Amino acid sequence: MSENKSGSGYVEAEFTRDSKYISDRITSDGSGRWPVERGRYRLVVARACPWANRSVIVRRLLGLEPVISMGMTGPTHDERSWTFDLDPGGRDPVLGYERLQEAFFARDPDYSRGITVPAMVDVPSGAVVTNDFPQMTLDFSTQWTAHHRAGAPELYPEHLRDEMDEVMERVYTEVNNGVYRCGFSGSQRAYDKAYDRLFGTLDWLSERLESQRFLMGGQITEADVRLFTTLARFDTVYHGHFKCNRQKLAEMPVLWAYARDLFQTPGFGDTIDFPQIKEHYYVVHADINPTQIIPKGPDTSGWLLPHFREQLGERPFGDGTPPGPPPAGEQVPADHGPGGIGHRL
Nearest 5°: the CA angle 184, 186, 191 is 70
Return the higher-pLDDT residue of 199 and 15: 199
Strand 41-45, strand 69-72: pairing? parallel
Rounded to whole angstroms, how far apart are CA atoms 86 and 72? 7
> What pLDDT shows up at residue 12?
57
Q: What contacts 24+ positions apart, CB below 8 Å, involve 293-297?
A: 294/342, 294/343, 295/240, 295/342, 295/343, 296/342, 296/343, 297/342
Q: What is the DSSP letter of 41?
A: E
- Residues 246-259: pLDDT tens digits? 999 999 999 999 99
Question: What is the domain partition of the chain in residue ranges?
Answer: 41-147, 158-336
Q: pLDDT value at position 11?
A: 41
**pLDDT tens readout for residues 169-223:** 999 999 999 999 999 999 999 999 999 999 999 999 999 999 999 999 999 999 9
Q: What is the pLDDT of residues 286-317, one digit of tens each?
A: 999 999 999 999 999 999 999 999 999 989 99
CATH topology of domain 41-147: Glutaredoxin (3.40.30)
| pLDDT number for residue 3 | 31
158-336 is a CATH 1.10.630.10 domain: no
**82: annotated binding-site residue?**
yes
Active site residue 238: no
Catalytic residue among 21, 41, 49, 156: 49
Q: Is 244 a catalytic residue?
A: no
Q: How many CA atoms lie within 13 A of 342 on its CB side?
A: 7
- 129 CB contacts (<8 Å, ≥6 apart)? 22, 24, 26, 34, 41, 107, 119, 120, 121, 122
* From 41, 180, 238, 282, the catalytic residue: 180
pTM of the model: 0.94
Short-list 302, 317, 316, 306, CA closest to 213: 316
| Predicted confidence (pLDDT) at residue 9 exceeds the cutoff of 60 | no
Q: What one-character-per-residue DSSP string does 155-215 give?
A: SS-GGGHHHHHHHHHHHIIIIITHHHHHHT-SSHHHHHHHHHHHHHHHHHHHHHHSSSSBT
pLDDT of 211-240, one tens digit each? 999 999 999 999 999 999 999 999 999 999
Q: Are 103 and 95 in contact (CB under 8 A)?
A: yes
What are the two backbone dihedrals, phi and then psi, of residue 127, each rounded to the nearest 5 degrees?
-105, 145
Which residues does residue 2 pair with via DSSP β-bridges, in sequence order? 14
Burial of 51 (0-12, 13-18, 19+ CB in 10 A): buried
Amino acid at 64: L
DSSP string, 132-156: -HHHHHHHHHHT-GGGPPTT---SS
Whether pLDDT at 83 is above 50: yes
Q: What's residue 341's pLDDT?
A: 60
- For residues 65 and 298, what is the distance between their CA atoms, to the nearest angstrom? 32
Q: Hey, is 250 helix, strand or coil?
A: helix
